[in-house]
């Protein structure tokens, strides 16, 4: 009886059921993308940070949704979301230190991380990159060795010719999340992976989830974020991409989306909050790109 009551209570108005909720992951993602926007910082950031701090598990990690087991991916994402908020907006240093301890405890003997606390769970590109990036950003707070993890990511690219995300479909997400673990400045003209992604742009200005497919707003937003992080600044990619995002935005400020997150495997799930964040991420990257281009143009001497 209790099982039937739960199923009836969780049924959506359209008669369907959702695979899962992901309130902690979605909140961390939204903070990472929108932090710095005056309206978001004023109206949403304090409550979002308080929620993340309260959602932390006793082991120091964070779960993808409230009240389940901590996972490495969400822990790294939460640490990135809380970056530079120590002692402000309700983000105590104790929560950050506990999260770093959790990542240290979860590191495997070969210097990598699994998503889940299970010996049978293999490492995946996006999770390793999130951990490396989070630990890089909090470098003054720990002594966790990262060389093996960074070498593993470089080896994956050398072996496969690209990175693959374990939790989301598509090249744009994989590159947007893995490239921050590397220094794009070491590659003249941008990281080769970002240059390859740039060439998959469609004639409508947008990017597909995978080369040859139709453009989607989320894939385009992620692609622009990846170009920024990979050091590709050619306006021939940026201007059409931003135009595509402006043209596809709905009157209510959102964008149409397609299922991107893996689960229940081998199926995919569409999360509107994630779709919105991924798409907006490209607009924020575009603003930074345009501002940087404007500053560069202002310093170009006039021909005389």
What are 224-253's pLDDT values in tens digits? 999 999 999 999 999 999 999 999 999 999
As a whole number of angstroms, the distance between CA 59 and CA 215 comes to: 41
Helix 272-298 with 23-34: angle, nearest 10 deg: 10
What confidence tier does 304 reach under pLDDT thresholds 50, 70, 90? very low
Establish if 43 belongs to a structural domain.
no
Establish if 33 belongs to a structural domain.
no
Rounded average pLDDT over 137-161: 97
**Mean per-residue pLDDT of the chain:** 94
Q: Where are the beta strands (DSSP E) in the chain?
A: 261-262, 268-269
Number of independent structural domains in the chain: 1
Q: So what's the pLDDT on residue 303?
A: 44
As a whole number of angstroms, the distance between CA 224 and CA 282 comes to: 5
What confidence tier does 58 reach under pLDDT thresholds 50, 70, 90? very high
What confidence tier does 257 reach under pLDDT thresholds 50, 70, 90? very high
183 CA to centre of own chain: 17
Establish if 215 belongs to a structural domain.
yes
Three-state DSSP class for residue 162? coil
Establish if 216 belongs to a structural domain.
yes
Q: What is the pLDDT of residues 198-225, one digit of tens each?
A: 999 999 999 999 999 999 999 999 999 9
Establish if 281 belongs to a structural domain.
yes
As a dihedral over the C-alpha atoms of residue 213, residue 168, residue 30, residue 237, rounded to 10 degrees, the angle is: -30
Q: So what's the pLDDT on residue 61?
A: 99
- Cβ neighbours, 10 Å, residue 25: 24
What confidence tier does 298 reach under pLDDT thresholds 50, 70, 90? low
**Among 226, 232, 224, 189, residue whose Cα is nearest residue 205:** 224
90 CA to centre of own chain: 23
**Among 66, 100, 34, residue whose Cα is nearest residue 280:** 34
Q: So what's the pLDDT on residue 90?
A: 64
Establish if 31 belongs to a structural domain.
no
Establish if 161 belongs to a structural domain.
no
Q: So what's the pLDDT on residue 202?
A: 99
Q: What is the pLDDT of residues 7-53, one digit of tens each?
A: 998 888 888 877 788 999 999 999 999 999 999 999 999 999 999 99
What is the end-to-end Cα distance of the chain in Å, rounded?
85
List the domain range (segments joined by +) for residue 240. 182-296
Residue 279 has pLDDT above 60, yes or no: yes
As a whole number of angstroms, the distance between CA 180 and CA 230 comes to: 8
Residue 2 has pLDDT above 50, yes or no: yes
- The reported pTM is 0.93
As a whole number of angstroms, the distance between CA 23 and CA 25 comes to: 6
Establish if 224 belongs to a structural domain.
yes
Rounded average pLDDT over 75-88: 87
């Amino acid at each position: 009886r209790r099982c039937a009551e739960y199923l009836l209570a969780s049924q959506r108005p359209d008669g369907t059921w959702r695979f899962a909720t992901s309130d902690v992951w979605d909140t961390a993602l939204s903070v990472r993308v929108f932090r710095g926007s005056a309206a978001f910082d004023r109206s949403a950031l304090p409550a979002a940070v308080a929620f993340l701090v309260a959602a932390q598990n006793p082991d120091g990690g964070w779960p993808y949704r409230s009240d389940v087991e901590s996972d490495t991916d969400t822990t790294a994402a939460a640490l990135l979301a809380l970056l530079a908020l120590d002692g402000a907006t309700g983000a105590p240093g104790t929560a950050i230190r506990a999260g770093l301890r959790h990542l240290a405890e979860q590191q495997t003997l070969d210097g990598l991380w699994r998503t889940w606390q299970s010996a049978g769970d293999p490492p995946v590109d996006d999770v390793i990159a999130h951990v490396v990036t989070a630990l890089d950003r909090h470098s003054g707070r720990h002594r966790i060795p990262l060389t093996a993890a960074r070498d593993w990511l470089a080896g994956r690219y050398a072996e496969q010719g690209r990175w693959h995300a374990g939790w989301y479909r598509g090249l744009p997400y994989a590159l947007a999340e893995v490239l921050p673990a590397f220094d794009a400045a070491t590659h003249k003209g941008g990281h080769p992976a970002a240059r390859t992604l740039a060439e998959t742009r469609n004639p409508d200005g947008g990017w597909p989830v995978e080369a040859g497919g139709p453009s989607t707003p989320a894939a385009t937003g992620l692609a622009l974020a990846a170009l920024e992080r990979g050091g590709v600044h050619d306006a021939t990619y940026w201007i059409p991409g931003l135009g595509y995002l402006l043209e596809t935005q709905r009157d209510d400020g959102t964008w149409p989306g397609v299922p991107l997150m893996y689960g229940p495997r081998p199926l995919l799930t569409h999360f509107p909050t994630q779709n919105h964040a991924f798409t907006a991420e490209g607009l924020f990257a575009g603003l930074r790109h345009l501002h940087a281009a404007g500053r560069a143009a202002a310093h170009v001497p006039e021909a005389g």
